[in-house]
Structure 1
Amino acid sequence: MMAKVTIAHSASAINVTHMAATRSPQNRWAKAIMLLRTARSFEQLINDESSRFTKTLSYIRNKMDAASTSTLYPTKEEVRQWEQSFESLLNHKYGCLLFRTFLKGEFSDENVDFWLECEEFKKMKEGKKATIQRAHTIYNEYIAEQSPKEVNLDSDTRTATKAALESGAKPNMFTLAQGRIEQLMAKDSYRRFLKSKMFLDLLNDGTNTTSSEGTLQAEIVSS
């Protein structure tokens, strides 16, 4: 009986250790990169139910088109551009996803989510019922006081956005608020992202080479 208890206890300890390793930030970053690199398409990645990142990635199901692996994984030059331009980072599918993953670790992913929502809203047609409904949804989710994902806006911007909503919900109604949040991310979280292990590893990685894939696999094992 004592042997059985000892074995059970050991198995439990191993399981706890495995769970802790799986949850480590380094392990999550490495797995995220591996998932993107090996996925045949962006849509396949989103739909992979076995992935621990399904929920994290699903927010962009309707925001980003399906893409090939070569389009997803950045070139060395593209990664360098991210370092020079925040706009380049946001406008790259892989870069935006990686940045959002970083923000999620800082519990501030609502900022980039709001930015993405604004980008999509600009494409909607003025005067349509769907446009008006979407405007109210975005406002109530990100801008209204005590909203579920309230972003950090000054009172003047919040008031101006509310007035724009009440005057007809035009596609550019969130431009001011979006600009404020983009400035906030650029001055704060973007700078920390550029110093993060996740970004530096990617910057120093031999992009799209067998050796770099081996490095990522080794990182997963060692995490």
Structure 2
Amino acid sequence: MVHTADNAWRAHIPLMYREDFLCSSGVARWNEEFPRHCVVSQHDRHKTKSVLVILFLIAMRNIKNNRGTFTRIKDRLSSALKSPASLFRRSPEISLREDILSWKKSPHSLAASEYGGSDLLVQFLKQQTSDDYVDFWLESGEYRWTRTKPGRKRDIEAQRIYDKFVYGECPRKIAHLEKMCFVSRQGPTGRDVFICAQAYVGTNFPKDSYKKFLQDPIYLNLLKTVSSGATQLNE
């Protein structure tokens, strides 16, 4: 953690709630670093915001597939907007319409979509907030949850994220993050180097983002288009 005599930036620290964190270790670390801005617990149980659960599942999927964070909608989803009926013939187990309807069931159903539901949510979230917030949250999460031993490769990845979103006047700099994370240029970098910064950035994602996504034209128009294609296919 970088400490400074100038504490004016602390005025920008938002009120943090347990729902802004994925785990209790994140809460403990925040309270340790910012004892005057301790996390507020509204409920006895730790319930994370739905949008953070989805982003976590996206990050874990990216790690599993050994690929970086992506923002485009999958080719099949793009094709659906042009020719919905064609996709019904490609998925014998579940139709595109059934998959899209399942997104309403739970954040996990959306994240598990075979047709890029989580990718579409990422696009929506970037429109609602910013590319930088979403990309930093995902990239710092992938860094934290990737099971690799401390070493040069891990240090380089931490430095890459730091230089991209935090350091100096970098093009994608997010304000105040330099006070919430630190990448050592001398010794090994810890897994939790971005844990406070990630939680801070996550506060920019509205609590009801998942619900708003399901009410937004980006989802409703897709559902309408695909439903129309299904009707034509059955005629």
Instruction: Tell me: higher relative CO, structure 1 or 2? Use CA pairs within 8 A at least 6 residues apart.
Output: 2
TM-score (norm 2): 0.46
TM-score (norm 1): 0.48
Greater helix fraction, Structure 1 or Structure 2: 1
